Chain A
Amino acid sequence: MSAVATVTNLTKRYRGVTALDGVSFALTENRIHGLLGRNGAGKTTLMQILTAQNFATSGEVSVFGEHPYENEQVLSRISFIKESQTYPSSLRVTHVLRAARLVYPNWDEEYAQRLVDVFQLPGGRNVRKLSRGMLSALGIVVGLASRAPLTFFDEPYLGLDAVARQLFYDHLLADYTEHPRTIVLSTHLIDEVSDLIEHVLLIDQGRLLLDIEAEALRGQVVTVSGPVAAVDEFTRTGTELHRASLGGTARATVRGDFGPAAHDRARSLGLGLEPSSLQDIVVRLTTSNNGHAAGAGSATANKEAAR
């Protein structure tokens, strides 16, 4: 599969703050990417630069083989739905949809209307009078119905209730299956989307920590629990990300190349072994990268792995 976008050594500095620090990766065509990271990690800046809304300090960006800045050919194939999107005060919901229909070449009006019904958006209401959740839903409708070959969703769920969020995930997956395209989903609700995401990009403090298939990542990080000595023995084969101890037992999150043999080894050591959830992996990787021990009851020092 070919790359839709590539980023090489991308750095963005604001006055005194490095938002992105030498980030390099590629977005694979027709895949759902999860762009994960804490608040202020640089996710939005990254997407703004990929969509030419912001400017890089240094580094290369290529989207559909070209630089996106002032490039109509590229920009018309991108849809960027962001939580912070503002709308002109005179627009109603129907106006926003009409504007989107004018601009996006692949716009599907019939689908948009269906989504408006699904999310129960009041078409005649002024966008400035929409609730936070409705505003998010409007962005979601625009993002899905635009059918752009490269679609970014930057925390599109703000203010949405659990039902509406699930509706979003369901419609995203269904429409993606029917009309494959490249999607980048930036989110904090990792557990909710862990089944949706095929590729994980994790950034922290402007640096890329992970660029890996979700499936491969799940096999790489496991949590073992049992007697401290046995846990120590097991973690020697990988990189310990986090440990919580209680009395003589410990519970450790370990990253390594764990195949079926590792499961056998854990069993023979008398350890319980479970694959970590995507959310756990992200939390552990991010906190161990920052050097802050997280989690209650971590009496022993966090073994800082040399990375």
Chain B
Amino acid sequence: MNRALTVARLQFVVWRAVIGWPWGILALSFLINLALFSAMQENEDFEPTTGGLMSIYIVMLIASISAILQDFPFALGLGVSRRSFYLGNVLQFTVQALVYAAVLYLLAGVEEATDGWGANLRFFGLPFLVVENPVLRFLGFAIPFLLLGFIGIAIALVAKRWGANGLLTLSAVVLAGIGGLAVLATWRGWWSAIGDWFADQPGWALLVGWPALVTLVLAAVSYLVIRRATP
């Protein structure tokens, strides 16, 4: 465990890049949106929602991919075990996700209090995140970080362990799987049932529960894959 903490600290050797990129890009995206919608000066009932918040999640995805492709060979070269490397990264991603979510939560609060930064801008508070429960709202910010982080780790690990062919095989399998299910659902006329199922799910399940479950499965599978990966 000590060694895992060391790995987490290893990431922060370049803390300027680790923290600077996601927040720098998010800030840039925010300022552009703010300038844009201030300039438009639409009437009161116009409440624009931007997709700008996505940028910080995309940066997290990229960071997790490069953690496997670049940091993994480096850490193993320094004599870190695969287990410590993985645990250290999971620890770092989780702490990062929680802290970032807290900051976004606060910014969303400020946004509400200031009537969208004085420009009716809805940048941090997303419409599908409108839940009253503060814990769920917080998790609604945090879980996508973890989900994307582990998607990135899983994809990069497939590339690391099985190369480009592995990646192409995975894509083919996913495509065939989804396509096959779509064909099956259409053929058997399941679509309305599927729609009902989604409609019946409580908000917290769609927002937090199912993504968290997928994240856990990806995390477990990734651990098994990294245990036999070579740098």
> Which residues of A pack against B, CB within 8 Å?
48, 51-55, 70-72, 75-76, 78-80, 82, 85-91, 95, 98-100, 102-104, 148
Contacts and interface: CB of A to CB of B under 8 A. Distances in A.
Interface in B63-96: 66, 70-71, 73-74, 76-84
Contacts of B83: 70
Interface stretch (B2-10, B40-48, B50-58, B132-140): B2-10
Nearest to B4: A72
A53 B72 CA distance: 11
A53 B228 contact: no
A86 B73 contact: yes
Considering the complex of A and B, which 8 residue pairs feature the smallest CB-CB distances, nearest first?
A88-B70, A75-B79, A103-B78, A90-B17, A70-B81, A95-B13, A90-B14, A85-B77
B6 A70 contact: no
A76 B79 contact: yes
Which size bracket describes the interface of B in this complex?
20 to 34
A87 B71 CA distance: 7
B76 to A, nearest CB: 6
Contacts of A86: 70, 73-74, 77
Contact of A91 (B6, B14, B79, B230): B14
Contacts of A55: 228, 230
B166 interface: no
A90 B17 CA distance: 8
Nearest to B80: A103
26 contacts: A48-B230, A53-B76, A53-B77, A53-B231, A55-B228, A70-B81, A70-B82, A71-B81, A72-B3, A75-B81, A79-B79, A85-B74, A85-B77, A86-B77, A87-B74, A88-B14, A88-B74, A89-B70, A90-B14, A91-B14, A91-B74, A102-B6, A102-B9, A103-B10, A103-B78, A103-B79
A119 B70 CA distance: 26
A76 B13 CA distance: 19
A100 B13 CA distance: 10
A102 B76 contact: no
Given A53-B231, A86-B74, A87-B74, A95 B14 contact: yes
Nearest to A91: B14
Which of A86, A88, A104 has its CB near the most chain B CB atoms (within 10 A)?
Answer: A88
Contact residues of B: prevailing secondary structure: helix
B84 A72 contact: yes
A120 B78 CA distance: 23
Contacts of B78: 99-100, 103-104
Interface of B: 3, 6, 9-10, 13-14, 17, 66, 70-71, 73-74, 76-84, 227-228, 230-231
Contacts of B231: 53
A139 to B, nearest CB: 9
Given A53-B230, A76-B3, A86-B73, A102 B13 contact: yes
A72 B78 CA distance: 12
Contacts of B10: 99, 102-103
A104 B230 contact: no
A162 B82 CA distance: 37
Contacts of A91: 13-14, 74
B206 to A, nearest CB: 36
B91 to A, nearest CB: 15
B26 to A, nearest CB: 19
Contacts of A99: 10, 13, 74, 78
Contacts of A87: 70, 74
Nearest to B73: A86
A52 B77 CA distance: 10
Contacts of A78: 79
B14 A51 contact: no
Contacts of B76: 53
Contacts of B14: 88, 90-91, 95
Nearest to B77: A85
Q: Which of A48, A78, A86, A99 has the most CB of B within 10 A?
A: A99
A72 B14 CA distance: 24
A287 B80 CA distance: 39
Contacts of A98: 13
Contacts of A54: 230
B78 to A, nearest CB: 5
Nearest to A85: B77
Contacts of B80: 75, 103
A72 B70 CA distance: 21
A151 to B, nearest CB: 11
A88 B73 CA distance: 9
A74 to B, nearest CB: 9
Interface centre among A48, A52, A72 (most CB of B within 10 A): A72
